[in-house]
Homo-oligomer: A and B are copies of this chain.
């Protein structure tokens, strides 16, 4: 894999949406990095040195509460960027950004990105629009956490993960999902068991396969669709679809 992206092969939705001229300018400063499972890109409270345009896999944004466990507030995949808050003037990360899956990204040093943002209007607009839809995702999560049952939230989360990873088979343990959703693993076990009985997912030891995407959408709360539609409103109809959405799922 080349260290710099090309406009033809880049998967990240923001980079691929750039006009050729801006893409060419920014591509030189982007360096491909492989993301290991469990790798932390940004730590809460610490400076954001690099910004990551996700190419594959997905990143969890986690709020760390002092008493104990982190809790996921948003997912970032190939539709987005980890560390985008530097564009708003933040220097340190308020959240933890962790790769849950293994994957890849193009990364750029924060000062270089800010330099481009000041002189590349399309990139700036795309990053601001992405900031907005990420904000909507977080806001919906706040309401969802307060009001929806775990079974619905689990279905929503699996849909979001599917969208962002682009593959129907996810390497995820129930233990990990429990931390993301802020509940006990045993509660996830029960909810996941129901989904499996209903035939919409299948899982065996850390591998979850989505068998029935529509069934999963029906099992999820409205929050999935609310976020997806905001993406579509700002990025167009196909912005949120995984690259391999057309491929058969099973």
CB within 8 Å of B: which residues of A? 61, 63, 65-67, 71, 73-74, 85, 87-90, 92, 94-95, 125, 128-129, 131-132, 135-136, 138-143, 145-147, 182, 222-223, 230, 233-234
Number of copies of this chain in the oligomer? 2
Q: Which residues of B contact A136 (CB under 8 A)?
A: 94
Q: Is the Cβ of B135 less than 8 Å from the Cβ of A85?
A: yes
Q: Which residues of B contact A129 (CB under 8 A)?
A: 88-90
Nearest B residue to A140 via CB reads B63
Q: Which residues of B contact A222 (CB under 8 A)?
A: 65-67
Tell me the dominant secondary structure on chain A's binding face. Answer: helix
Q: Is the Cβ of B139 less than 8 Å from the Cβ of A73?
A: yes
Q: Is the Cβ of A88 less than 8 Å from the Cβ of B143?
A: no
Nearest B residue to A131 via CB reads B88
A147 in complex: contacting residue of B61, B71, B94, B131, CB < 8 Å? B71
Q: Which of A74, A125, A136, A141 has the most CB of B within 10 A?
A: A141
